[in-house]
Amino acid sequence: MEKSSTDEAMKVGRWMEEGGFARLLGIEVVAARPGWCQVEMAVTDNHLNSVHITHGGATFALADFAFGLASNARGETAVGLTTTMSYPAASKRGDRLVAEAFEETRSKQTGNYRVEVRRQSDSVLVGLFSGTVFIRGDAVSQWME
Amino acid sequence: MEKSSTDEAMKVGRWMEEGGFARLLGIEVVAARPGWCQVEMAVTDNHLNSVHITHGGATFALADFAFGLASNARGETAVGLTTTMSYPAASKRGDRLVAEAFEETRSKQTGNYRVEVRRQSDSVLVGLFSGTVFIRGDAVSQWME
Amino acid sequence: MEKSSTDEAMKVGRWMEEGGFARLLGIEVVAARPGWCQVEMAVTDNHLNSVHITHGGATFALADFAFGLASNARGETAVGLTTTMSYPAASKRGDRLVAEAFEETRSKQTGNYRVEVRRQSDSVLVGLFSGTVFIRGDAVSQWME
Amino acid sequence: MEKSSTDEAMKVGRWMEEGGFARLLGIEVVAARPGWCQVEMAVTDNHLNSVHITHGGATFALADFAFGLASNARGETAVGLTTTMSYPAASKRGDRLVAEAFEETRSKQTGNYRVEVRRQSDSVLVGLFSGTVFIRGDAVSQWME
């Protein structure tokens, strides 16, 4: 991986971090390369459901953000088409969640990504996500002004 | 549908509305019956991604909340196992999203639910969600204190 | 729906019926229109698993065939990207399975389809399928020689 | 992994191989351990669709069989609830497909499995499958006569 593409990927990450929903949830980009990234989120009262564990929607949002970053980090705009998620375990207030996104396949017009969300303290898998993107012809950079 | 079961379902809805994540996103329960519900959310800056449309995670969160309510509205605790979502169209600030959840199948231990998320203004489908639950033996009411 | 488009859709269906896998399984097209179709399959010993119920792969194959026909019945080639299936109930030798495919959304380049597979005798849902296609620019008819 | 559990897993595999659908498609178990297996299938005219590539339902059937074996190879009956599949590339007559199933998570009552289907000749991924099971209390062996 050459340095320039990593820089470009992180630039996309910083820009995505500034979205209103990412800020509301406190999503932070740790590292990004084309086709891969790691992002984190601290679980607070704001992320819980009525039984005081992390809402599935909050875990999903972190995974979906990682999916978006990994798939757009090559600089071509990729649009999410379908996503699937399962929840092997729970997390709670005080946990820090780490999502890592991997590119499984990528052709000219579509791509598949996998995201694993784990509790940082014990590495237990709390979310398993997979997503498919449609790759449009336009550059991500044109949206970044 | 007898009145008592509708009352019970709405009671579950009100309790779920008080979760931190539901409050953070502004999710509101409109109506609920065992196996069915309608919930809404107004899209604000807080729900947007970096290209100023609703973040997939926010649309998912609304759908997932509806899934949770419809599947727990019978009074037995149902735990989400797997969910799938696709995004046929987008929404933006000022849109009001309406999610309607339907029970497709329900056996003793599992159930399948479908959720449609639409823009209220023009009824365009912006999210299509399906989810599978595992039904535990305990009562939802015991969690509601 | 004008007659010509129904004729065209049935022509695609007849052509798909001749594929080796469709013939191996005994899949029959009952009716087709752009975006919709109904197909059937009789369950024989050949479709069973080791516990003598219909193999999930056989039920899936019928649903996937219906998905392919409904999405290609407009005459533009549509390629399946992602599919999801759940199995609310079982079927066995002697059952006749009926799959009905519906178009949920269709844009210029992608589409979502839903397929319900039921036992003909009692209409019980034995398979619930959803699929996403990528729509290429070429015509189905050019493949039909 | 102790030898006895591998023997038991292979015994389940041999029994599953004798199902009508597995025989119809020519599915062969190469190796199995609790939570893992490798199975293969040679693509013939019988597995093709109308454009002469492997039917999605045939690739799915192989993946689903592997999912069933890996999840039942511990000796407790596991029932498939939901499956998701995507098709990153195609295969054709003469290809040999290899499916490898991995256990991603397993709790007392549910489990998630991932299956990768590749062309043996060049290891290209032609199917990416994930599935969720519900684990019943009964033993697989009681079904095996």
ipTM of the complex: 0.94
The number of residues in chain A equals 145
Whether A4 shows a pLDDT value over 80: the answer reads no
B105 touches chain C (CB under 8 A): yes
Q: What is the pLDDT of residues C82-133, one digit of tens each?
A: 999 999 999 999 999 999 999 999 998 999 999 999 999 999 999 999 999 9
In which band, very low, low, confident or very high, does the pLDDT at D4 lie, cut at 50, 70 and 90? confident
Q: What number of H helices and E strands is found in chain D?
A: 3, 6
In which band, very low, low, confident or very high, does the pLDDT at B4 lie, cut at 50, 70 and 90? confident
Q: What is the pLDDT of residues A38-77, one digit of tens each?
A: 999 999 999 999 999 999 999 999 999 999 999 999 999 9
Q: Which amino acid is at A10?
A: M
Q: Which residues of B touch D132 (CB under 8 A)?
A: 81-82, 132
Q: What's the confidence (pLDDT) of residue B125?
A: 95
Handedness of CA A115, D123, D87, D31 (dihedral sign): negative
Query: CA of B30 to nearest chain C CA: how many angstroms apart?
Result: 25
Q: What's the confidence (pLDDT) of residue C135?
A: 93
- CB spacing of C20 vs D80 below 8 angstroms: no
d(CA D36, CA D68): 10
H helices of C41-104, in order, are 56-72
Q: Which residues of A touch B68 (CB under 8 A)?
A: 49, 56
Q: Which residues of B touch A62 (CB under 8 A)?
A: 57
> Considering chain D, what percentage of its residues have pLDDT values greater than 90?
88
Please state the separation of Cα A2 from the chain's center in Å: 22
In which band, very low, low, confident or very high, does the pLDDT at A116 lie, cut at 50, 70 and 90? very high
d(CA B95, CA B118): 10
Which residue shows structure tokens 């379902």? B9
Residues contacting residue C98 through CB under 8 Å, at least 6 positions apart: C30, C38, C39, C40, C117, C118, C119, C120
Q: What's the confidence (pLDDT) of residue C145?
A: 72
Burial bucket for residue B107 (CB in 10 Å: 0-12, 13-18, 19+):
exposed
Q: What's the confidence (pLDDT) of residue C67?
A: 98
In which band, very low, low, confident or very high, does the pLDDT at B3 lie, cut at 50, 70 and 90? low
> Considering chain C, what percentage of its residues have pLDDT values greater than 70?
98
A132 touches chain C (CB under 8 A): yes
The number of residues in chain C equals 145
**Integer angstrom CA distances of residue D78 from A87, C48, D136, D140:** 18, 17, 6, 8
d(CA B11, CA A18): 37
Mutation target vs C (from A108, A134, A136, A138; most C CBs, 10 A cutoff): A134
Binding partners of D (≥3 Cβ pairs within 8 A): A, B, C
A18, A44, A56 member nearest B50 (Cβ): A18
Average pLDDT, chain A: 94
Q: Which amino acid is at B54?
A: T
Q: Where are the domains of chain D?
A: 3-143
Closest chain B residue to the Cα of C132, Cα to Cα: B86
The number of residues in chain D equals 145
3-class state of residue A86 by DSSP: strand
Whether D83 shows a pLDDT value over 80: the answer reads yes
Binding partners of C (≥3 Cβ pairs within 8 A): A, B, D
Interface of B with C in 107-126 (CB under 8 A): 107, 112, 125
Q: Which amino acid is at C127?
A: G
H helices of A48-122, in order, are 56-72
H helices of D18-143, in order, are 20-25, 56-72
d(CA D100, CA D115): 5
In which band, very low, low, confident or very high, does the pLDDT at C3 lie, cut at 50, 70 and 90? low
Average confidence (pLDDT) over D126-139: 93
Q: Which residues of C touch B83 (CB under 8 A)?
A: none
Q: Using alpha carbons only, what angle is made at residue C133 by residues D52 and C100, rounded to the nearest 5 degrees?
A: 85
C123: region left, alpha or beta (phi > 0 left; psi from -120 to 50 alpha) = left
Please state the separation of Cα D88 from the chain's center in Å: 18
Query: CA of A103 to nearest chain C CA: how many angstroms apart?
Result: 16
Average pLDDT, chain B: 94
- CB spacing of B128 vs C105 below 8 angstroms: yes
Average confidence (pLDDT) over D89-115: 95
Average confidence (pLDDT) over C72-79: 94
In which band, very low, low, confident or very high, does the pLDDT at B2 lie, cut at 50, 70 and 90? low
**Neighbour count for residue D33 (Cβ, 10 Å):** 19
CATH class of residue range C3-143:
alpha beta
d(CA D88, CA A105): 6
Residues contacting residue A4 through CB under 8 Å, at least 6 positions apart: none
**Neighbour count for residue B4 (Cβ, 10 Å):** 8
Whether B1 shows a pLDDT value over 70: the answer reads no
Q: What's the confidence (pLDDT) of residue C118?
A: 98
Question: Do the bridges between strand C125-139 and strand C96-106 make them parallel or antiparallel, or are there none, so unpaired?
Answer: unpaired
B84 touches chain C (CB under 8 A): yes
Q: What's the confidence (pLDDT) of residue A2?
A: 54
Closest chain B residue to the Cα of D109, Cα to Cα: B134
pTM equals 0.92
C130 touches chain B (CB under 8 A): yes
Contact predicate A67/A28, CB 8 Å: no
Contact predicate C49/C60, CB 8 Å: no
Query: CA of A112 to nearest chain C CA: how many angstroms apart?
Result: 10
3-class state of residue B61 by DSSP: helix
Q: What's the confidence (pLDDT) of residue C103?
A: 97
The more confident residue out of C3 and A93 is A93
Q: Tell me which residue of B118, B145, B121 sits closest to B38, measured CA to CA.
A: B118
Q: What's the confidence (pLDDT) of residue D3?
A: 62
Angle D56-72/C56-72 helices, nearest 10 degrees?
150
d(CA C118, CA C126): 5
Q: Which residues of D touch B132 (CB under 8 A)?
A: 81-82, 132
Q: What is the pLDDT of residues D23-62, one digit of tens each?
A: 999 999 999 999 999 999 999 999 999 999 999 999 999 9
- CB spacing of B81 vs D109 below 8 angstroms: no
Whether A91 shows a pLDDT value over 70: the answer reads yes
Residues contacting residue C78 through CB under 8 Å, at least 6 positions apart: C68, C71, C72, C111, C133, C134, C135, C136
D69 touches chain C (CB under 8 A): no
d(CA B129, CA B99): 10
Q: What's the confidence (pLDDT) of residue C31?
A: 97
